[in-house]
Each structure stands twice: as C-alpha cells, then as structure tokens.
Amino acid sequence: MRFLRVAGLPAALLAASVSLASAQTWSAGLTVTSPETARVGTTAYRSSSRLDASWNAPATVAHHYVLTLTDAVAGTASSVEVTATRVSVTGLKSATPYTVTVKACPDEACASPLEAAAAARAETAAEYWQVRGSGNAFSSATKIVADGNTYAFAVPYGSWAGAALTGKVQLYYNPTSATEKGIKIGEMVSGTSDSAASLSAYRGVSGFGLVQLCASGGPGGPTPCQGDTAAAGVTTTQPVPLGASMGGGIRLFFESMGTDRRTRVMYLDSRDGYVGRDFNAGEKTICNTLADYSAGGGCAPTVVIGVGGDATAGNAGLSHARQFKVGYATRTDWRWNGAPGTFMVFTAEFQGNCSSGAFFNAGYAVWDGAQWAVQNDAAGCPKYLAEVQAPMPVHMGGTRYKLYFSHNALGRGGMSNPLSDVKPMKLIYADGGVTGDAASVDFEDWEQIAQARDVHFLWPDGSLLNVTNESALDDYMMFMPTGDPSLQIMYANMSIPGTGLAPFIGMAVLVNP
C-alpha cells in the first residue's frame, strides 16, 4: 500500500487527541466525487486524475484520518493522511473506479482506529486532449514548426542547464526537407515552458543534428545504402539530459536502420554540453555522411538494443528494435542519473522461435547500471505487450508511470500502414510497488492491454475526433514541461486521412488533468 502524508498535524489537535476504541465504527457519511475541472464551450469535463472526499468527524476527537483508495482495475491501494475532514486526492489513474474508505486515528501510531461504517465509490474521468489550432480538421491545426514532419521530442531545461537555457524547451524532430531528414533541432520562438502558447512555436536551426542517409524501404537520401554502419537510416529519437554522475550533456538515443537493413536502438552524446546540438566528435557540427557514422567517424554510435547475431548488445530473439522510449523520473528532474532499474520500452520484431500473433509488440529493457538488458521469458524470448504501437511513458511521480500507445490490432503477419490503420490511442499504468523491487518498474508492474483505458481527442472547436482521425496521430510525445500535471502537452505526427499529404507535427493539450 502506498502511504502519503498530505497535511501537517496542528498542535491543537495533538493536545486534544483522545483514545478511540478499537474495532468501532462511526457514521462518517463519506462522499467522494470527481470534480469538474474544465469547460470547452458548453461541455463540462471532470478530472481524469483527481477525486474529492469529505466526511463527518466522529464524536471523539481524532488525531488524524487515513483515506484509502483501491482501484478496481489493478487492485492497487494508496493512502493519504490528513487532519481535516475533506481532501482532494490527485495523481490517480484516469477512467478508473475507486473504492474509498476512511478511518479516524486516536494517536499518531493509529493502533486502534475508528472505521467509517460504509465505503464510498467514485470514478475518475477519461482523458480528453484538445488539438491546438482552429476549426475541426487537421488542415487547420497548428504546426509547431514550419518544416516539421515526424518524430518530435522535446527537452525542457531547468536551472541545471545554465541561465541562457533555463525555462526553455528544445525540440528534436524529423524535417520535411530531403537534405535535412533525420534529426533536426528546433528552438522556441519566444517565452518559456510554462505557457501552452510558447510551447506551440519553434524555429528550425540548420547545420546541426543527424541526417538520414537511407530510408527503410531502400535508398531514400542523397547517398545510397552501402558500406558498413548501423546508423544509415536515422528515424525516431529521444534526447535525454544526463546528470553530473553520467557526465552531463545530452544523450541522443535514436532508432536507425543499418546498411544491413536491420533496425537497432543506439545513441550519441553531445559535444556542446546541454546546448545539445552538436553530436559530431570531429570538426563538423552535423552528422551527414556514411564516413561520419562508420567506425572511426565522428558520429559512430553506441548500440544499446541490438538484434540477433550482433556482437554488441545483441538479442537472439529480435530481428528489429524500433520506436523506443526511455522511462525515468522526469517529474523529479529531467536529467537522467543513470540509476539501475530505469526502463526502456520499444517496438520488437521477432525472429527464430520467438513470435507473436501481432506485428506491433512492445518489448522491455531495463538498465542495470552498465547495459540495457532486454527482459526475456523462460524460453529466452523477449517479453512483450502485444498490439502496442508507438509506446510513450510519462512519469507520474515516485515509481508510477502511465504508458500511452496506439492499439494496433491490424498488423498481424506483416507491416501495416500507420497512416491508414484504425489504431485508437489507449493508456495503461504501472506502479513499481506491485512486484519485485519497489524502487524500479518491472515488466510485471504494468497493467495488461485488456485493462487499457481509452484516450479521447477534441478538435479546436470542441467537437470530438472520430476513430479514423484519432488514428492519424502517431509518434507522439506527452510531457509535463514544468513538472506540474496541470499543464500536459502532446506533440504528435498529424496527417489528413485519405489525402496522401505528408504528416506534420501538431500539438494537443490535456483538457482535464
């Protein structure tokens, strides 16, 4: 059981505390409600993560109260300790029924509490995100960067990055220009990270980052796929600021298809500290040739999730490792301290005796302090969550996370088209205290896909997206730019179904945190 003290104990209550009889109850009149937190037009939206509870005090004075909430999906319980007879409990799971109980404690130890005669039940609302822009179509949605195409990921800077960067957000994305495709840098046009308006406008910065030399379907850039390198086809990325114990700077994790047509997860470290734009160890500030990416080059990467037959970081059950994300405690500090137990979720494609009934599967790796160890089952095959596409974890505090994903049940037996698949966005949760080491999030700590909640989207005018339009969202990032859950931002590929037009990078904001 998770236990959290949310209020201090006034001296007056300590002095007035008296003994309460063990195993007694009182008519607490406990009520629990899901409060309205926002309106879009005339529609009210209840909170997706908060419940408000109130009750009557017993006849005898209580030292404090303990409110316990047990969710009906995973059966996990959490408790808050308060001195008042009302409390707002935050950080809960969305679209989840809770059973709530309260007890009155006669002293700090709470050895003989008075139990409320009846429990209460309430349910949090589902999440609703609103696309930024105007109207009710992607054609009028806000483009956060003019040349943005896909794979956006942002880094919010704290005071640890220096005065020039504090409060800013840096964007990493794949641009539309054929000569710059790969990983380009974007800087905020104005403002700081505490405003949705400021977070909706970036300008591209050329001359830095990584250029994609080969696309997954064949030679797609100015240089044909040839030679011997693991990093010819740079795509999905995640920049991770490193703490002092890890050497500082930005570690740029990225997915890339090698000249052998196999995809792996790898990284490069920045050469300009937290500025995080130059990843070439040579004189250039950009990685844009096969020589750069090859052994001895200035951009030769370190592979962390390899495939079957690889001498470095190889995994016998994998033919490809794609669409990854690292989960770490960003609500505490956006810098990663390299703590063992950090997890990485990635799209796994299997080989040999390892297989599944779906094409999209979320594999799982855990950092042991020296390497990313893919979690395998008893047969030696990667553990996975089936039918999960584009997984994106978000830290909720402590060892609690939520995982967004596109539920793609259509890709059985081969690659499907992410621009046309019906793949509604869903959400599951994990708590490190469920199994194993409570300080880390194990694969078994995650809820099952069958328990996933729906995530809903609104157009700028407040109308609801249908499942076809929702399915056009892909390769998204959700984050709390200031660490405060009242402001939650999503960057995502957005495309216009049926038009054949290239995706762009748009934005949505959580309406009802």
CATH number for 394: 2.115.10.20
Q: What is the DSSP letter of 155?
A: E
| Residue 188 to residues 242, 368, 482, Cα–Cα distance (Å) | 21, 35, 15
Radius of gyration of the CA atoms of the chain, in A: 25
- If asked whether residues 275 and 361 sit together in one domain, one would say yes
Q: According to the model, what pLDDT value does residue 21 have?
A: 40
Amino acid at 331: R
- If asked whether residues 360 and 381 sit together in one domain, one would say yes
The two structure tokens encoding residue 53: 């509870």
Entry pTM: 0.92
- If asked whether residues 231 and 332 sit together in one domain, one would say yes
| Residue 74 to residues 97, 176, 240, 363, Cα–Cα distance (Å) | 10, 43, 31, 21
- If asked whether residues 361 and 490 sit together in one domain, one would say yes
Q: How far does CA 255 lie from the centroid of its chain?
A: 17
The last residue of a domain, from among 125, 142, 159: 125
CA atoms within 13 A of residue 140's CA, in its CB half-sphere = 8
Q: According to the model, what pLDDT value does residue 18 have?
A: 37
The last residue of a domain, from among 80, 106, 125: 125
Q: According to the model, what pLDDT value does residue 353 have?
A: 85
Nearest to 243 by CA among 174, 173, 158: 158
Q: According to the model, what pLDDT value does residue 436 have?
A: 87
Characterize the bridge pairing of strands 97-105 and 453-458.
unpaired
Q: According to the model, what pLDDT value does residue 103 have?
A: 98
Looking up residue 40, the CATH number of its domain turns out to be 2.60.40.10
- If asked whether residues 156 and 79 sit together in one domain, one would say no
In whole angstroms, what is the distance from residue 482 CA to residue 506 CA? 20
The answer to whether 274 touches 162, Cβ cutoff 8 Å, is yes
Under 8 Å CB-to-CB from 235, ≥6 apart: which residues?
151, 174, 182, 212, 216, 254, 255, 256, 257, 322
In whole angstroms, what is the distance from residue 361 CA to residue 468 CA? 22
- If asked whether residues 169 and 291 sit together in one domain, one would say yes
Structurally, the chain folds into a number of domains equal to 2
- If asked whether residues 88 and 232 sit together in one domain, one would say no
Q: According to the model, what pLDDT value does residue 340 have?
A: 94
CA atoms within 13 A of residue 274's CA, in its CB half-sphere = 23
Q: According to the model, what pLDDT value does residue 366 have?
A: 97
Q: According to the model, what pLDDT value does residue 11 have?
A: 33
Q: According to the model, what pLDDT value does residue 171 have?
A: 98
Strand partners, 100: 69, 120
Q: Is 243 exposed, middle or buried (0-12, 13-18, 19+ CB in 10 A)?
A: middle
In whole angstroms, what is the distance from residue 31 CA to residue 404 CA? 31
Q: According to the model, what pLDDT value does residue 10 have?
A: 36
Q: According to the model, what pLDDT value does residue 1 have?
A: 45
Under 8 Å CB-to-CB from 442, ≥6 apart: which residues?
366, 375, 432, 435, 436
Alpha-carbon dihedral angle through residues 150, 458, 131, 36, given to the nearest 10 degrees: -130
- If asked whether residues 85 and 99 sit together in one domain, one would say yes
Q: According to the model, what pLDDT value does residue 216 have?
A: 52
| Domain hosting residue 197, numbered range | 129-510
The two structure tokens encoding residue 422: 């019906």
- Regions in the chain scoring below 70 on pLDDT: 1-23, 215-226, 357, 410-419, 497
Characterize the bridge pairing of strands 388-397 and 169-175.
unpaired
Per the document, the length of the chain is 513
In whole angstroms, what is the distance from residue 268 CA to residue 378 CA? 33
The last residue of a domain, from among 80, 107, 125: 125
Q: According to the model, what pLDDT value does residue 3 have?
A: 41
The two structure tokens encoding residue 312: 């470095």
Under 8 Å CB-to-CB from 31, ≥6 apart: which residues?
53, 54, 55, 120
DSSP per residue, 388-440:
EEEEEEEEEETTEEEEEEEE----TTS---TTT----EEEEEEETTSSS-TTS
Q: According to the model, what pLDDT value does residue 344 have?
A: 98
